[in-house]
Amino acid sequence: MKIVLLPSETATVLVEALPYIREFANKAVVVKLGGAAIDKTSDLALAQDVLLLRSVGVRCVLVHGGGPQVDAMLRRVGKEPEFKDGLRVTDGDTLDIVRMVLVGKINRDLVATINSQAGDEPVAVGVSGEDAGLLTVTPADPALGFVGNVTQVRAELIHRLLDDGLTPVISTIGANAEGQPYNVNADEAARAIAVAMKAEKIVYLTAAPGLLDDVNDEHSLVPRLTSAELRQRIGSGSVSRGMIPKLRACADAVDQGVRFAHIIDGRVKHSLLIELLTDHGVGTMVKKEKSW
């Protein structure tokens, strides 16, 4: 059912958004889209959110994963996904499939969806971390195969695209100094990009409402906490294992200079706009200090 606002209600929403628009204009926001939150409906709403933010001066960068899609493709070719400590074991054949799915499928689909909503002037541009040495990596662990840790981000390349009025959509395949591609954990890649860009915010769009006090109760959302409080929760084992990489990346991001980190539900239509441009938001916000 479509909800129709009265003119006065629409005006109230716009007035509420105005101070946030002023605050974030000309500042970088890195949005990480998890594979579990990718579908045609949510991608269309996200495209509209990104374009609206761009139109009011927010320098928006989209970084995407694609774990479930990679798993599905591996199984289609008769290869069972393998993980170690939450990271994908990536041999040569798996790396080929990861590159094909992330760079050749998901990235192209996201770019096409954003550009379909951009009118006569397409603005989204697909970029792989391999391109022009955008993400330089070193091997993470020999037992993981071709899995890399980001050691350098050429942030000036991203800023150059933004200066030209383009919206970068980045797939998280990096390369070492010799040009060998590596699979990179998308949560960590997004954090490294946000830190290198000196971003105002990093936002993780997930298939969960945010950080929950009770993992079995979606109404027990923790709306805001500091990075130190977040690390305590991670250390106590009170958070779900699947959320740990995102939570750790949020804590690391704000401790390394990003002002705000958010975990929000990418399944909720226009959740990015609600979180960034309204008083209440829809997810969990992390800051270094308690200054709400």
- Cβ atoms < 10 Å from Cβ of 72: 13
- Which residues lie closer than 8 Å to 38 by C-beta, 6 or more apart? 64, 66, 69, 106, 266
Catalytic entry in 246, 265, 266, 281 = 246
Measured CA to CA, the distance from residue 160 to residue 277 in angstroms comes to 26
Asked if 246 is an active-site residue, the reply is yes
Catalytic entry in 34, 35, 126, 281 = 35
Asked if 266 is an active-site residue, the reply is no
Mapping DSSP to helix (H, G, I), strand (E, B) and coil, where does residue 23 land?
helix
Catalytic entry in 49, 187, 252, 265 = 187
What are the strands of the beta sheet with 167-171, ordered from one edge? 124-128, 167-171, 59-64, 28-33, 201-206, 260-265, 284-287, 224-226
Asked if 67 is an active-site residue, the reply is yes
19-42 in b/e form (b: 16+ CB < 10 A) is ebbeebeebbbbbbbbbbbbeeeb
Paired strand residues for 271: none
CB 283 within 8 A of CB 275: yes
Measured CA to CA, the distance from residue 124 to residue 144 in angstroms comes to 33
258-270 in b/e form (b: 16+ CB < 10 A) is bebbbbbbbbbee
CB 113 within 8 A of CB 47: yes
Asked if 2 is an active-site residue, the reply is no
- Quick one: DSSP state of residue 143? G
Catalytic entry in 65, 67, 148, 174 = 67
| Residues annotated as catalytic (active site), given as ranges | 32, 35, 67, 187, 246
